[in-house]
Homo-oligomer: A and B are copies of this chain.
Amino acid sequence: VLSVDALVEGVHFDRAFTPPDAIGHRALAVNLSDLAAMGASPRLALVSMALPPALPMADFEGIADGLTALAARHRVQIVGGNLTRSPGPLMIDITVVGTVKRRQALTRAGARAGDKLYVSGTIGAAAAGLRVLRSRTSLVAGRTSEVASGHSRPATSDSRLATGDLRLVTAYLLPQPRVHLGVHLARNRAAAACIDLSDGLADGLHQIAGASGVGVTVDADALPIDPATRSVLEQSGQDPVAAALAGGDDYELLIAVRPRARRRLAARRDSTPLTLIGACTAERGVWLRSDRGVEPIGRDGFSHFR
């Protein structure tokens, strides 16, 4: 399988609060997440960059470091690339090549009524992390390497990030694509349909529902939104459920599972937590069930809360 995705400055990231290594990491993570959603093992990557002439050499090296570190972790060989000048924004375009057995490849189109819906990890953490970063731009710009390396050594007390916030910031800056989980799901035929959540959970639900020709219902109370995420989103005046549904940049997988295949989810070495969040239905539509009743989820999220 082949996949291409682009990261464009000013559209997908802001250099003011995205350290260079995080830019490189995220550019590859987007693509690895696409492969994970197909159940494919990543093998090769080609990297094409358009660089503004004013970009400091150290920033370029930082981008390359972030990219190669993630590539090494997943044994992806960077086999080619292209460098050119950009008269505008920094852009990184990556094409990845992965392998999966033809019959095992996961798509969005295999779900049936009665399948259960699971999501990996937690949702909303990246959206919350971005909110933390936006509120502390000057701080983060000053200590790029600390944030990116996952530990914080603030020089002054007012630049301290709470441990919870640091985890959210890391979720945004250094998302971990669910490569092993995707490969496991494909090899064990554990998933009937799969998509990654880089465009948000609401989008993922609509994609699976549309491609599979089913409806889906999600339980608001079941959504894996951790307390730190909930707290940041609430402090910024957002409903956590609405924000977690709409927020992209969670590199998690949304999976539809046949009732009889549920035991295949359990037997895996990969330790990524999976949370049951809802089910597929014969009746069409994408719905959220909460103590307020059942309400439709729009493609961009949950308009009621906005």
Contacts and interface: CB of A to CB of B under 8 A. Distances in A.
Interface of A: 2-6, 8-12, 44, 46-48, 50, 79-82, 84-89, 91, 93, 95, 97
Given A87-B88, A89-B86, A91-B91, A50 B5 contact: no
Provide the main secondary structure of the chain A interface. strand
A32 to B, nearest CB: 15
Contacts of A47: 4
A34 to B, nearest CB: 10
B81 A4 contact: yes
Contacts of A85: 8, 11
A6 B48 contact: yes
A70 to B, nearest CB: 18
Nearest to A4: B46
Contacts of A10: 87-88
Given A46-B95, A91-B91, A8 B86 contact: yes
A190 to B, nearest CB: 25
A8 to B, nearest CB: 5
Given A93-B93, A95-B46, A4 B80 contact: yes
Given A5-B48, A8-B86, A91-B93, 18 more contacts: A2-B46, A2-B79, A2-B97, A4-B47, A4-B48, A4-B93, A6-B50, A11-B50, A11-B84, A11-B85, A11-B86, A12-B84, A48-B93, A48-B95, A50-B91, A82-B93, A86-B91, A93-B93
A245 B79 CA distance: 30
7 smallest CB-CB distances across A and B, nearest first, come from A88-B88, A10-B87, A95-B95, A93-B93, A4-B46, A88-B89, A4-B48
